[in-house]
Structure 1
Amino acid sequence: MPTLIAGAVAVIVLYLLLQMFRAANPATLARAIKIVGGVVALAIAAFTGFKGELAVAVPLGIFGAGLLGWSPFGMPGFPNIGGIFRGAGAPRSAGQTSRVCSQFIDMTLDHDSGELDGRIVAGPYAGRSLSEFDLSQLTAMISGFDAESVALLESYLDRRFPAWRHDAQGNTAGGQRRAATSGKMTDEEAYQILGLQPGARRDEIGRAHRSLMKKLHPDQGGSTYLAARVNEAKDTLLRTHND
């Protein structure tokens, strides 16, 4: 009987953890995995080091420290092991962000964390951040937005509440819309979307595009709309680029 009860409790706990995992913000989840992995690696390194197995403890300790963002020995040229979660050879973006704007929303993507957030720029909630509202409040805004703003809001909801489309009822929310853009993209908009300064070189445009697509591609749990805007930004800049 105790075994049966323990098994039932384990099933319930696993189910709750799975639901939390599905609803978690991917960027937050990735950071949590890195932190937990780093702490566990350091703990194992300390244990093996205490037993005198330095050949195992030292590299494991360096790996754990790297996951927590520490560059071993303070050497400027020593690669940060945590960078393997961003892709081999991917440079840090040093606070770089991308912006996509519509009539109602100014959306920002942080290149380092992959976090997506936005500010409402028109209407009764102008000046407030999307992160201040819960799911029901955000979906209630959809009916008052234009198609482009709806697409941006849905992209934000996909990132913050991955299961929201499945849970949404009716056609007012949760639909896969293809927004009509406000017109031909300007160079200024393209630079903002790619997070680049005007005059960026072709190789910088290509790197920024590849980096953003890794975070926004629909196959990686990203946004179809934002991925399309990133592609459009790249094409806009490369069409008139000469070097």
Structure 2
Amino acid sequence: MLRLILLLLILIGVWYAWQKIKASAPENKRKQIFLATLLAAAVVVVLLALSGRLHWVGAAVLLILPVLGRLLNQLTRLLPWLAPFFERYARNRQQQNRQQGEEKWQGQKAAQNDQGPTLTEHEARRILGVGANAGKDEIIGAHRKLIQKLHPDRGGNDYLASRVNAAKELLLRVL
């Protein structure tokens, strides 16, 4: 009987949360969904602790984790001498993220520039298998057939696909 009452309470809570989310403004829906998920997780943790499947200390830690960020923010307001430590931590994290982003961007840029030696028009025609008097449609058709075979998603590799693309671009530029 107790389980039935508990199930009904949970269903009523889910229905209420759904109605609240549905009625909220579009810019607040994400926040409402987050809060509903957080509340549902808290209910599950409390139920697990009450049923004996989760130790009460574990339940307390799990319930405190979502509040920890706001708690630290309030703590820095109450104890201003702690603020520089948290600000320094935040600055260091931002600097690390920025450096990692720059390294990633430089790596991508280097990979884009590393397409092998430059092509001549003769080599480009040999790669695509087109003659000296090939038109735009013939170049595009030859490129399409070749890239379907050599594309990395279809078992080819990046180098060959980049050479085929470079050959097409060169020949279309020359036309």
Structure 1-normalised TM-score?
A: 0.25
Please identify which structure carries the higher strand content.
1
Bigger CA radius of gyration: 2
Please identify which structure carries the higher helix content.
2
Structure 2-normalised TM-score?
A: 0.34
